[in-house]
Amino acid sequence: MKPTRRLPIFPLPDGVFFPETLLPLHIFEPRYRAMVADAMSGDRTLGIQRLRTGSEFDGRGRPAVFEIGCAGEIVEHEPLDDGRSNIVLRGLFRYRMRSEEPETAAYRIANVEVLPAEPLPSSSGAVKGRREFRRLLSRVVAQLADSVGRPEARDLPAHLSDEGLVNEAVSRLGLDVDDRYQLLAMDRLEERYAWVLAHIKATQQRLDLLAPYRRAAVDPRWN
């Protein structure tokens, strides 16, 4: 078994988060206020964990969680007057929960195994594929941003790694929580790219099909 590290975890019903993406959170429950306070006095890191739906519980009577999660660093922290706060996490690494510690703190603490993604192949074909992926993703992201009236969201962040690029795609494409968790659990980056690329191509086809109707809605010359 690989070495583990100790990590406070924040279980959320739709808690699927990816390395190199950003996650804003509003912190209001006392236990998570304590978690954030402890993180801010330490390494600013906590784990986002997806809760299992329904009434499943673990052996200690706590709501059950999925085993794969993502750790994030608090990169923005806005304390509010009443003890609540707003934070922004930047994804650091995926992990697998190995065990949870007894409840000695107000919040849950787990021992986790870091899961680095298996990199993309370094062949010329893979390099070409990455360029094509970014081109298609940039086009879809721009169209999606325009369709919801958010032109500021048209551009992808620059200087993303291979993993960061595909993870940014996942965060932009409106996937449901089951699909996002399936992607988070993929160890091979090539597999994640293939899944997301197929989804991008299907999304592009739908956007192209609907484009004339969107133009007709805003330009009377199309009516």
Report pLDDT digits (tens) over 175-212. 999 999 999 999 999 999 989 888 888 877 876 776 66
Q: Which of 87, 114, 141 delimits the end of a domain?
A: 114
Assess contact for 110 and 46: CB atoms under 8 A.
Answer: no
Q: Which residue has the tokens 């996002």?
A: 180
pLDDT at position 32, please?
95
Domain that residue 173 falls in? 124-222
Q: Exposed e or buried b for every residue in 189-216, given b needs 16+ CB within 10 A?
A: bbebbebbbebbeebeeebeeeeeeeee
Query: Does residue 167 fall inside a structural domain?
Result: yes
Specify whether 109 is located in the same domain as 128: no
Q: Which of 52, 85, 114 delimits the end of a domain?
A: 114
Q: How many structural domains is the chain composed of?
A: 2
* Ranges of the chain with pLDDT below 50: 216-223
Alpha-carbon distance of 188 to 179, in angstroms, equals: 16
pLDDT at position 221, please?
46
Residue-averaged pLDDT of the chain: 85
Assess contact for 7 and 110: CB atoms under 8 A.
Answer: yes
Alpha-carbon distance of 115 to 100, in angstroms, equals: 17
Specify whether 147 is located in the same domain as 60: no
Residues 6+ apart with CB under 8 A from 127: none
Q: Which of 114, 133, 151 delimits the end of a domain?
A: 114
Specify whether 44 is located in the same domain as 78: yes
**Which pair of structure tokens corresponds to residue 29?**
């429950």
Specify whether 164 is located in the same domain as 201: yes
Query: Does residue 171 fall inside a structural domain?
Result: yes
Query: Does residue 57 fall inside a structural domain?
Result: yes
Specify whether 41 is located in the same domain as 105: yes
Query: Does residue 119 fall inside a structural domain?
Result: no
Alpha-carbon distance of 41 to 53, in angstroms, equals: 32
